[in-house]
Amino acid sequence: MNDKDISKVFARTVESLLTDDSNGKMPYCRRHGETMPSGEVLKEVVELVRAVIFPGYFGDSTLSDYTMGYRAGVMIERIYELLCKQIEAGLSFGTTVIDNPSERAVEIALEFVDYLPQLRSALALDVEAAYNGDPAATGFGEIISCYPVVKAMCNYRMAHKLHESGVPLIPRIITELAHCETGIDIHPGAKIGRCFTIDHGTGVVIGETCIIGDNVKIYQGVTLGAKSFPLDADGNPIKGIPRHPILEDNVIVYSNATILGRITIGRNAVIGANIWITESVPEGAWIVKRD
Amino acid sequence: MNDKDISKVFARTVESLLTDDSNGKMPYCRRHGETMPSGEVLKEVVELVRAVIFPGYFGDSTLSDYTMGYRAGVMIERIYELLCKQIEAGLSFGTTVIDNPSERAVEIALEFVDYLPQLRSALALDVEAAYNGDPAATGFGEIISCYPVVKAMCNYRMAHKLHESGVPLIPRIITELAHCETGIDIHPGAKIGRCFTIDHGTGVVIGETCIIGDNVKIYQGVTLGAKSFPLDADGNPIKGIPRHPILEDNVIVYSNATILGRITIGRNAVIGANIWITESVPEGAWIVKRD
Amino acid sequence: MNDKDISKVFARTVESLLTDDSNGKMPYCRRHGETMPSGEVLKEVVELVRAVIFPGYFGDSTLSDYTMGYRAGVMIERIYELLCKQIEAGLSFGTTVIDNPSERAVEIALEFVDYLPQLRSALALDVEAAYNGDPAATGFGEIISCYPVVKAMCNYRMAHKLHESGVPLIPRIITELAHCETGIDIHPGAKIGRCFTIDHGTGVVIGETCIIGDNVKIYQGVTLGAKSFPLDADGNPIKGIPRHPILEDNVIVYSNATILGRITIGRNAVIGANIWITESVPEGAWIVKRD
Amino acid sequence: MNDKDISKVFARTVESLLTDDSNGKMPYCRRHGETMPSGEVLKEVVELVRAVIFPGYFGDSTLSDYTMGYRAGVMIERIYELLCKQIEAGLSFGTTVIDNPSERAVEIALEFVDYLPQLRSALALDVEAAYNGDPAATGFGEIISCYPVVKAMCNYRMAHKLHESGVPLIPRIITELAHCETGIDIHPGAKIGRCFTIDHGTGVVIGETCIIGDNVKIYQGVTLGAKSFPLDADGNPIKGIPRHPILEDNVIVYSNATILGRITIGRNAVIGANIWITESVPEGAWIVKRD
Amino acid sequence: MNDKDISKVFARTVESLLTDDSNGKMPYCRRHGETMPSGEVLKEVVELVRAVIFPGYFGDSTLSDYTMGYRAGVMIERIYELLCKQIEAGLSFGTTVIDNPSERAVEIALEFVDYLPQLRSALALDVEAAYNGDPAATGFGEIISCYPVVKAMCNYRMAHKLHESGVPLIPRIITELAHCETGIDIHPGAKIGRCFTIDHGTGVVIGETCIIGDNVKIYQGVTLGAKSFPLDADGNPIKGIPRHPILEDNVIVYSNATILGRITIGRNAVIGANIWITESVPEGAWIVKRD
Amino acid sequence: MNDKDISKVFARTVESLLTDDSNGKMPYCRRHGETMPSGEVLKEVVELVRAVIFPGYFGDSTLSDYTMGYRAGVMIERIYELLCKQIEAGLSFGTTVIDNPSERAVEIALEFVDYLPQLRSALALDVEAAYNGDPAATGFGEIISCYPVVKAMCNYRMAHKLHESGVPLIPRIITELAHCETGIDIHPGAKIGRCFTIDHGTGVVIGETCIIGDNVKIYQGVTLGAKSFPLDADGNPIKGIPRHPILEDNVIVYSNATILGRITIGRNAVIGANIWITESVPEGAWIVKRD
């Protein structure tokens, strides 16, 4: 194997990659000069948001009270600047053309910054719910430091806000970052109420059209999924139809239960572990395994 | 949107975060001048311990035999110094006041260093158990390089040691780091015997008061959890009550089985995949799925 | 605790680690002067391959069309150089002695580079399959950016190619990197056809001797595992025997189903969620839960 | 000293810095949203140019012949992109308003890229001149690796090109980077011929309006400066008047000589060490110290 | 050469270094647990101070007006924290024992922060002086970006402030950092008035007991040094005696002039290039070279 | 300017650089697969040597006594490994072919490690000399932390050792690194005795064939250079002829003095500042300026 052969293989491979038919199928979808959405950058945004919301727990662990305000200001500025670019990249990514994506991105990013205190309040309630539901937890501090649900809900609530502002793709990347970290996969389109918690969490799936009330608790391995989905005339799945479960207030779903389809689990119902549910469950019911 | 408006939103957000009511609920819990426990730093500690225990597999892959001793010394010093600070942060974190947390932290960190050779022996047995239990494994080297159970058990055994020394929070952060990497969630309070192994591992949950004997093997998705937990007069869960299963020596639990409550799975018993168990199982029993 | 005591503990620990009995059990398996296989380096290789295959989505998100070719060339060179060293490390790692591992490594690395365009075509089909199977997906770009199956299949297809070239260990490290990121655990020895997809994916296990046809789709938590494995005269598992399922073309397996043993799931069969299968299933069958 | 006091000092200092009178005197000179010129970024540009011109000597020392072209392409792209931003920052920095600085920056950056092969030829002659002039030099490779004149001339020739394209500030930052590294301070406005060399170099100063012919050689500590400069009616120095020496072809100036004012040192003249010259010197003269 | 030989050489070298006689001569001078002064950390302090004083020119070149205050706050906090540790290290370094060095360090660091606005005003005047004195300068921005005197004076004025607060060693490290960058070597003990400037600067030396008035300008290579120094009974130089020149207001010293001993250069005097002065010069004199 | 034009300019530039005539003049001089000598790597070697020789002053400023030995061992190993590669690169760089450069490099690197304790003793004497000669110095610690002569002599003595072992190029790169940092340019071929010191140092040049005795002290700007050099028949300078001064024991040379040619400055002689010397000076002479 001499250098010339290596050169030839390299040249052939580069050529072949540049002219590959699949290029048409996997278009970069970017217009001239624009950056693609970047998972790396969004990861930084997520870390900054966590550090702003839970200072000392995330980000720099040495911060002092007397400069908390300066640090928050700097982090907020950075969140704002990174999000402006990423939101614009998201708005320019799809096939629908938006006028002035750059201006719209600035508006949405600023709304997001403005939303941070509400995000903090919502997450504070989630932390409290996790604490109340676990006898092993020794304090709020342990929840924030060690419970994957905090990371998953932080990303989900951030992503849901951006999803509601009409940003494509970026919200999905944000929830997938949490999926990768925690094994909890929540679609940003799902609607989740206050005081929500997930214990352990690995393997949880919450689908796009789920609606979840207040004070709901679920365990590891729970799937809130679609049972099936209608196809259009061409045999392709029809997008956007409600197809995931509704969980009303105070529902508990134990580990590895699977709930499929647009059904309703009534208020205060309890679904036992490893249960398979495809029909609605009335208020207050206890559904448990009998094997 | 002009610069002034942006300035105003930023200032309002910073102000709102600093004066938020949730601050009371999520106290930083640190006394003046002390650092908070840091996941980042503990990650470095974990990497150093792995590199000391399995040199060449973790840490620098280019090390030479003739300076192994120097490298071990430097890594041990670093482990010691980082742990001193983190243990002190853990001891100062909770609400219980400990006299002289800094001095106590030095003692515990030094005990931990002293424990490293025992940790190594324990993990060597776990590696051997993993090798013996998997026909796909080609050698001990493959187990150490590729089996997530090695990472999970290294973190668990480190964390359990610190848990026994009375360090709060830090052990939980350490096992959660492994949960994030491997999908295996072991509470540092669990007691696990020698030659323990987990195959694949994603979704495994081992609760705080579990007791596991020697030569036990479990598969992915297994939950060793609590069935329910008693509430106190105020409706809060009572902390610290034994509520997770006991697995005696040589038990095998196949994938996605769920074992709940303070029950005992007797010596040599085998629990089949996807099984749901809430009552004790006698020695040598085979419990398998019948659907 | 004075400095001298600390010194003593350190010296004792180093000594004890260097002379530990387990050293025999956990040999470094490297010959003089050779580097060990390195997970860190292989992670860089994986990132480079992803960036070459899906430019803009992985790697630098700011790339311009007019220098795509230069970038591909530089990345390919780097992949080649890193792989030469890692493959040589893999070939030198085990107990079987290979003549001229360095020369053989160069050949395999170059074959791998040459294979990149085919890898790209195969992954383009996987992306298309994922898009077609999920009503929540808005475009190919979303699949590539957000669906963990893309990362898992990229690593699997890379690893399988190296496995077929006879490289030990390295392929397993590569698929384990994806397991860590996605919760999807595919053994590099498995054979997987075209247009394969996995939804959500956390908890999926695909064993070493699985054979999977074209257009197969599986969901989170599915295990394609071994039921049991014969022991040799010494009571050790016999390595390399076919012991995992065969899935024929167009099979669908829903979430948390467990399929064990060398059985065959016939063409077009559908296996429902949470199902437990240990016997072959005929073509076109629908096997669903009845509880 | 308590936390409150510290807070107060910090707040007072921030306030005072933001409202300081000197803010008027040291305006940031940037228009909205534009980046300032950055020494850090220009340092990266310089390193890239050196790596393109002298591959293997600067930049990555492990490059292979068979991918030199790819690497050059990637580095050129990066030079181009960084320079676009920096040139725009330079054009927007001063008080003179330029229409469309961004478009003009793209043109100049592209001209600069196009100039790289000429830059290389010019520097190759400078390297040759340095080699021919020093009995201690063992080869061209040593000149490129170890002679500060190579760095100084690379920066000067880059900067002079940009200076001629009318870019403000950026050229000065580039030559100052070399001054910092080498102690050789060449103004980008100076005109320097072919085959120029400087031995040792520390303390050399070459002023803005110098004109230097071909085959000139100077030593450490030489100043080619202004003798005095006329003031305008307000007592301020008049900018831009020719006030530095002209050195014709083949001139040699030995160490620590000082040549001041708009005088001419004729062809083939030799100026001895520590000499002080303020009047023109005829062709072929030898001016040496007589103390 | 085999591994054992290498091991032996290493062990012998380590042993020899640890027991070397020179250890007595080069004591680490640190008391238990304290950090040594660190050039790296002081470099960071210098960079932060420059970024606070000249925002946009040093530090991040992308800063926005609307968060300047937050950024200044964060940088000031960091300066304060780093300086506390470094000043304490300086106070603990020498042989003189100071009570409570940690408390004293906090006071001095806070005084330093409080001094920053004055430092800024002083440097603004130095920038103006540099601009007024150089016909090649196009604006204040160019002075700040490109003139080494700005870096040298920033470090000198910082260091002089700490020197006056009685901090040992740290001030010298700070001015030496500028010496390394600019070739300008100013002792922190020197006293320098307002509106001071140095052109080019390489090779300038300003000794410990110099006193320099307002509006003084010097050029590259100027030495303000000691002529000789009296020895004590043991033949060692007596420390701390005034032995360097005094330059009164408005003095100009041209390049490479050498002024030695405790002499006075009177108001408005001009010293020509390459001049050698060891006796006082009256007000208004012009001393120029006659060769 | 559209993308196509940019593409064309890039392609043209790459092509032109690859086929440039100067390629012949600036050969990379490396044989297949070998790395070039690297300034970056040698910088790391220098930093490690400084940290081994002056622990706490260079390298990590937080080191503890009780693990000094481990750290020294690790640093020595790293020095050894990096030097092996760099020395081999140096031996392979020139045109003279050496058999087995890799083996020879290992020998020289090991000799270098073995030499470290002697290097330390020599530098300890240099530190002492600097302290004795400067009334401004407050202790050995200040000399090591702040005096550029320490860095310059450390690099020179390292480089001289390698020069004596017959390594090409590498020694020059090492002394040039110090030249860049300190403005002191010492050729590695020069011979320098014990207790040598340089005050301030900027602009000092010490040529290749200088011979300097013990207890010599020089100041900033001193040149010990060649007066002229004979040409061979082709008009090229003849390499390697003794052409720089000899300074006998106890000589002092004050700032900016220039001493040229193969002359001898006798024992105890003192050369005043700004003096120009081209003839030998007898023992004990005082040569001072008379203008």
- Taking CB atoms within 8 Å and a gap of at least 24, the contacts of E93-96 are E93/E29, E93/E30, E93/E36, E93/E37, E93/E168, E93/E169, E93/F141, E94/E29, E94/E168, E94/E169, E94/F138, E94/F139, E94/F141, E95/E29, E95/F139
* Contact across the interface for B27 and A61, Cβ inside 8 Å: no
pLDDT value, residue B30: 46
Is residue B282 over pLDDT 80?
Answer: yes
Q: Does B282 touch chain F (CB under 8 A)?
A: no
Cβ neighbors of E19 (< 8 A, separation 6 or more) are none
Per residue in A226-254, pLDDT (tens digit) is 987 777 787 777 777 899 999 999 999 99
**CA nearest to D140, candidates F163, E22, C100, F95:** F95
C-alpha D75/C-alpha A15 separation (Å) is 20
Residue of D66, D80, D102 to mutate when probing chain A, most A C-beta within 10 A: D66
Residue of E4, E17, E208, E222 to mutate when probing chain F, most F C-beta within 10 A: E17
Select from C103, C138, C273 the Cβ nearest to the Cβ of A94.
C138
CB E191, CB E212: distance < 8 Å: yes
Alpha helices in E26-169 (DSSP H): 39-53, 68-91, 101-133, 140-146, 148-164
Q: Does B124 touch chain A (CB under 8 A)?
A: no
pLDDT value, residue F85: 93
Show the tokens assigned to B66: 């003739």
pLDDT value, residue A98: 81
CA distance B245 to chain C (A): 23
Average pLDDT over residues E32-37: 70
Query: What value does the mean pLDDT of chain E take?
Result: 89
Per residue in D128-143, pLDDT (tens digit) is 999 998 888 888 989 9
Average pLDDT over residues A143-164: 97
Q: Does A148 touch chain C (CB under 8 A)?
A: no
* Contact across the interface for D64 and A10, Cβ inside 8 Å: no
Neighbouring CB atoms inside 10 A of C238's CB total: 12
pLDDT value, residue E273: 87
pLDDT value, residue B227: 86
Based on its alpha-carbon atoms, the radius of gyration of chain F, rounded to whole angstroms, reads 22
Question: Which ipTM was obtained for this model?
Answer: 0.92
pLDDT value, residue C136: 85
C-alpha A117/C-alpha A128 separation (Å) is 17
E113: chain A residues, CB-CB within 8 Å? none
Helix (H) / strand (E) containing B192: strand B191-192
CB B289, CB B252: distance < 8 Å: no
User: With bands split at pLDDT 50, 70 and 90, how would you rate the model's confidence at A30?
Assistant: very low
CB B291, CB B273: distance < 8 Å: no
* Contact across the interface for D6 and A66, Cβ inside 8 Å: yes
CATH of domain C34-183: 1.10.3130.10
CA distance C276 to chain F (A): 55
C-alpha A86/C-alpha A91 separation (Å) is 9
pLDDT value, residue A167: 95
**CA nearest to B193, candidates B251, B256, B275:** B251
Q: For the domain A33-183, what is the CATH superfamily, name and number?
A: serine acetyltransferase, domain 1 (1.10.3130.10)
Q: Where are the domains of chain B?
A: 37-183, 190-291
Its CATH class, for the domain covering E190-291, is: mainly beta
Distances in whole angstroms, Cα of residue C208 to Cα of each of B275, C154, C255: 24, 17, 20
C-alpha F175/C-alpha F75 separation (Å) is 21
- Pair type for strands A252-253 and A217-219: parallel
C28: chain B residues, CB-CB within 8 Å? 55-56
CB E231, CB F135: distance < 8 Å: no
Is residue B237 over pLDDT 90?
Answer: no
Show the tokens assigned to C247: 């899935």
- Pair type for strands F270-271 and B286-287: unpaired
Percent of chain B residues topping a pLDDT of 70: 91
CA distance C11 to chain D (A): 40
CB F18, CB D75: distance < 8 Å: no
* Contact across the interface for E3 and B64, Cβ inside 8 Å: yes
Query: What value does the mean pLDDT of chain B take?
Result: 89
Q: Does F71 touch chain B (CB under 8 A)?
A: yes
CATH architecture of F26-183: Orthogonal Bundle (1.10)
Task: Strand C264-265: give its sheet, edge to edge.
Answer: C191-192, C211-212, C246-247, C264-265
Q: What is the pLDDT along chain F (291 residues), one digit of tens a residue?
A: 567 788 888 888 888 888 876 665 555 544 455 678 999 999 999 999 999 999 889 988 776 766 788 989 999 999 999 999 999 999 988 666 788 888 999 999 999 999 999 999 999 999 999 999 888 888 898 999 999 999 999 999 999 999 999 999 999 999 999 999 999 999 999 999 999 999 999 999 999 999 999 999 999 999 999 987 777 787 777 777 899 999 999 999 999 999 999 999 999 999 998 888 999 999 999 998 755
Neighbouring CB atoms inside 10 A of C50's CB total: 20
CA distance D93 to chain C (A): 26
Which chain B residue's Cα is nearest to E67? Answer: B7
User: With bands split at pLDDT 50, 70 and 90, how would you rate the model's confidence at E5?
Assistant: confident
Per residue in C55-92, pLDDT (tens digit) is 889 988 776 666 788 989 999 999 999 999 999 999 98
Q: Does C142 touch chain A (CB under 8 A)?
A: yes
> What are phi and psi for residue E53, nearest 5 degrees?
-80, -40
Write the secondary structure of C174-191 as one string of H (helix), E (strand) and C (coil): HHHHHHHHHCCEECCCCE
Q: At what angle do helices D170-182 and D39-53 cross, to 10 degrees?
A: 70
DSSP state of E67: G
Secondary structure of residue F188 in the 3-state scheme: coil
C-alpha E160/C-alpha D226 separation (Å) is 32
What single-letter amino acid sits at F183? G
DSSP string of chain C?
--HHHHHHHHHHHHHHHHT-THHHHS-----TTPPPP-HHHHHHHHHHHHHHHSBTTBS-TT--GGGHHHHHHHHHHHHHHHHHHHHHHHHTTSSS--S-HHHHHHHHHHHHHHHHHHHHHHHHHHHHHHHHT-TT---HHHHHHH-HHHHHHHHHHHHHHHHHTT--SHHHHHHHHHHHHHS-EE-TT-EE-SS-EEES-TT-EE-TT-EE-SS-EEETT-EEE-S---B-TTSPBPTT---S-EE-TT-EE-TT-EEESS-EE-TT-EE-TT-EE-S-B-TT-EE----
CB E79, CB E113: distance < 8 Å: yes
C-alpha D117/C-alpha C26 separation (Å) is 56
* Contact across the interface for D124 and F203, Cβ inside 8 Å: no
pLDDT value, residue E29: 41
Show the tokens assigned to F78: 């790293």
F116: chain E residues, CB-CB within 8 Å? 13, 16-17
Show the tokens assigned to E207: 């000794």
* Contact across the interface for D185 and E202, Cβ inside 8 Å: yes
Token look-up 């659907």 returns: B291
CATH of domain E31-183: 1.10.3130.10
Show the tokens assigned to E124: 């603004």
**CA nearest to C86, candidates C108, C64, C71, C118:** C108
CB B69, CB B126: distance < 8 Å: no
CA distance C230 to chain A (A): 30
pLDDT value, residue C47: 97
Cβ neighbors of B52 (< 8 A, separation 6 or more) are B59, B72, B75, B76, B79, B116, C17
Per residue in A70-90, pLDDT (tens digit) is 989 999 999 999 999 999 999
* Contact across the interface for A70 and E69, Cβ inside 8 Å: yes
* Contact across the interface for C10 and F66, Cβ inside 8 Å: yes
What single-letter amino acid sits at B58? F
Per residue in A42-67, pLDDT (tens digit) is 999 999 999 999 988 998 877 666 67
More confident residue, C33 or B15: B15
10-residue mean pLDDT series, chain D (291 residues): 79 85 56 75 97 90 75 93 94 78 94 96 95 88 95 98 96 98 98 97 97 97 88 75 96 94 97 91 88 52
CB B283, CB B249: distance < 8 Å: no
C-alpha F44/C-alpha F67 separation (Å) is 21
Its CATH class, for the domain covering B37-183, is: mainly alpha
C-alpha E278/C-alpha E258 separation (Å) is 8
CATH architecture of D33-181: Orthogonal Bundle (1.10)
Which chain F residue's Cα is nearest to B63? Answer: F77
**Which residues in chain C show pLDDT less than 70?**
1-2, 21-34, 63-66, 94-96, 289-291
CB A169, CB A110: distance < 8 Å: no
pLDDT value, residue C29: 42
C-alpha C37/C-alpha C45 separation (Å) is 12
Distances in whole angstroms, Cα of residue C202 to Cα of each of A179, A221, C255, C273, D133: 9, 9, 10, 14, 69
Per residue in A87-125, pLDDT (tens digit) is 999 998 866 678 888 999 999 999 999 999 999 999 999
* Contact across the interface for D64 and A3, Cβ inside 8 Å: yes
Average pLDDT over residues A271-276: 89
E64: chain A residues, CB-CB within 8 Å? 77
Is residue D97 exposed (0-12), middle (13-18) or buried (19+ Cβ within 10 Å)? exposed
pLDDT value, residue A290: 58
CA distance C58 to chain A (A): 8
C-alpha B134/C-alpha B213 separation (Å) is 20
* Contact across the interface for B207 and A136, Cβ inside 8 Å: yes
D107: chain F residues, CB-CB within 8 Å? 1
* Contact across the interface for C74 and D64, Cβ inside 8 Å: no
D73: chain A residues, CB-CB within 8 Å? none
Q: Which of residues 1-40 of C touch F (CB under 8 A)?
A: 3-4, 6-7, 10, 14
What single-letter amino acid sits at E46? V
CB E3, CB B66: distance < 8 Å: yes
